[in-house]
Amino acid sequence: MKYIAILVLSLIWSAPSFAQHSHGSEKGPNGGQMEDVAGIDAELITSGNTVTINVFDPGNGKPVPTKGFIGAVLVAGTGARETVALEPSGENALKGDSKSAIGAGATITLTIKTAEGKSGQAKFKK
């Protein structure tokens, strides 16, 4: 009985990781990397020290309004790590600025919560 309980708990804890999948090398409408997270498609765009996450409906590719969304990214690269809070910007984007430029090879981990309360994480490699 104890082993069954451990098996069931491990399956429950691992279920969210199965629910999300990577788009791999798929590019978004703005040329950025795409990842599935929290029931939406998130497209990462970086420019200098600005991080932009554009949000789309995975079913039809249409923009999703980001009003009520909460997000942050952890930028890790060349020994430095920084958490950047993201704020809704425009119709379907979340934006934030890091203290320094985001260089090639950086790993960017997005944590997001939608207006409907779904949450998740996605990892991008710049």
From first to last of its 126 residues, the chain has per-residue pLDDT tens of 444 434 333 444 444 443 444 555 578 999 999 999 999 999 999 999 999 999 999 999 999 999 999 999 999 987 789 999 999 999 999 999 999 999 889 999 999 999 999 999 999 998
* Distance in Å from the first CA to the final CA of the chain: 46
Q: Which residues contact 124 (CB under 8 A, 6 or more apart)?
A: 33, 35, 44, 107, 108, 109, 110
pTM of the model: 0.80
| Closest among 96, 122, 95 to 33, alpha carbons compared | 122
What does the domain layout of the chain look like in residue ranges?
A: 22-125
Question: What torsion do the CA atoms of 57, 118, 74, 126 make, to the nearest 10 degrees?
Answer: -20
pLDDT digits (tens, 9 = 90+) for 7-27: 333 444 444 443 444 555 578
**Fold exhibited by the domain 22-125:** Immunoglobulin-like (2.60.40)
Specify the DSSP class assigned to residue 60: T
Separation of alpha carbons 21 and 31, rounded Å: 19
